[in-house]
Structure 1
Amino acid sequence: MSYDFNGNTIETDVNGYLKNTEDWSKELAEFIAQSEGITLTPKHWDLIEYLRDCYINHNSEQPNTRTIVKAMADKWGTNVIQKDVYDLFPKDPSKQGGRIAGLPESRRKGGY
């Protein structure tokens, strides 16, 4: 599988995760999200940036949904529940969000 993006072929695995994380850009994230029916808002970007920071700056960490909910509650300064992050990424915030963030596929089951 691959994405045809800006005249380039971006290689992915069978589930649409980038084979080379260096291929990622904000423009590519917009493209991937749009192909999944998602229009990225500032809250989407907060979650994407959090996932990228965890992976890039914290030893390839890929947080589960509970950790994401807590981090977004801190970031947004409001009570956040699991439904709030699933409203952003309905196919699982850690997995779908990670795919759009250009990260490798998480092998966790997700959730709590």
Structure 2
Amino acid sequence: MAYEVNGKTIEADANGYLADHTDWSEDVAKAIAASEGLELSEKAWEIINYLRDEYFNNGGNQPNERHMVKHFKGAWTDQGKVDAKSLYIHFPKGPAKQASKVAGLPETKRKGGY
């Protein structure tokens, strides 16, 4: 599988995860999101940036949904109640896996959230 972004071919594995994470850019994220049928909102970008920060600045950590909810309860104070459903609104196929794909991170092998 591959994505075409700005005239360049970006290689991905059979599941759509980037073969080389250094190929990632916001334009690549938009292309991956489009292939997933997603429109990236401001909150979706916050999730993507959080996952990238955790992965690159915290020893390859890929948070599960429970840890993501815990983080965004503190970050999204304007939203009121933050739960897993709040994350699934932006990434309906699973915020840990689908958002990681859009963020250009390797595929996580663990299951959902709790």
> What is the match of residue 98 of structure 2?
96
Cα deviation, residue 79, structure 1: 2.3
Matching of residue 65 in structure 1 with residue 98 in structure 2: no
Q: Deviations over 1:16-58 (max 9, x none)?
A: 0001000000111112112211111110011000000000000
Q: Which runs of 4+ in 1 moved over 3 A?
A: none
**5+ residue gaps, structure 2:** none
Q: Deviations over 1:40-86 (max 9, x none)?
A: 11100110000000000000000000001111111111320111101
Cα RMSD after superposing both structures: 0.9
> What is the match of residue 2 of structure 1?
2
Partner secondary structure for residue 88 of structure 1: coil
**5+ residue gaps, structure 1:** none
> What is the match of residue 22 of structure 2?
22
Cα deviation, residue 4, structure 1: 1.6
Aligned partner of 2:44: which letter? H
Partner secondary structure for residue 3 of structure 1: strand
Length, aligned pairs only: 112
